[in-house]
Amino acid sequence: MATTNQTTKKVTAVSNSRQQLPTRSGWLSVANLEQLFEDIDKILQDMRVDMQTEALTTAERRRLLGSGVRRYGFIDKVSDLATVNPEFAPAFFNDTALKTLIREIEILRNLSAALAQMQRITDDVLLQVSDEAFQMALAYYNTVREAARRRQPGAQAVFNVLRLFFNRPRHTGNEPTEHEVERDVKALLHGKKDGEIVIKNERPHLVGGVHEVIDETHRDRVAVKETMEEEAG
């Protein structure tokens, strides 16, 4: 993989030009974010061409052996010993090629760590910006809701559109959905709800099987929490 160094230099160049976490007083702006995306997208396109590899399937990934601490140590030690004791090497063994592979492993691991750090920074900034945007939108929603209560002309129509985003679809069946059960189980485990959940399942033998879920959780606390979140900001 001779072109790995070229791709690494491109990633490093972008990373070095943006060392600090973006702030409102710094480079965080629509123009700079668009430019950053274009830079990274260009690097991604180059990586697809330079590395000339197809995406691995899940089965293929499971079959391949990575270079964890122990495997990498084993590979590195074999390289050292093969240099000193070449008489034990099989016919297809190439010590120079192995050392090149080891160097590529080191570069790719550093590249993976840098990308993971970039992903974390991006996710953190995305969360902060999203929260700021939601709080601003929620402030407008609360103002419209208050205006609708005062019967200000036009406010009710706007409020009717926005209130739909806070309505959660109700399950009309007698048995709760799997997602609802999982959510209530977690809430009970963490002490956020009162009640009990009973799950009964009997596999069919001579007669039909039985699958029953009884979800008796008290939702008063959740209702209060949702109301407080809606009022926030």
Residue 112 resides in a domain: yes
pLDDT value for 15:
45
Residue 221 resides in a domain: yes
User: What residues does 230 pair with on adjacent strands?
Assistant: none
Q: Say whether 217 sits in a helix, a strand or coil.
A: strand
Residue span of the structural domain in which 219 resides: 170-231
Look at residues 71, 100, 127 and tell me which one is the last residue of a structural domain: 127
pLDDT value for 199:
72
Tokens encoding 162: 């926005």
Look at residues 127, 159, 185 and tell me which one is the last residue of a structural domain: 127
**Residues 19, 51: contact at Cβ < 8 Å?**
no
Look at residues 127, 151, 183 and tell me which one is the last residue of a structural domain: 127
- Taking the whole predicted model, whether its pTM rises above 0.75 is answered as no
H helix runs in 17-154, sequence order: 30-51, 58-63, 69-84, 95-149
The total number of structural domains that make up the chain: 2
pLDDT class of 56 with cuts at 50, 70, 90:
confident
Report which of residues 220 and 169 the model is more confident about: 169
107 and 8 together in one domain: yes
DSSP code of residue 208? -
Query: Could you tell me what percentage of the chain is helix, strand and coil, using 3-state DSSP and rounding each to the nearest 5?
Result: 65, 10, 25
pLDDT tens-digit readout, 65-108: 988 899 999 999 999 999 999 999 999 999 999 999 999 999 99
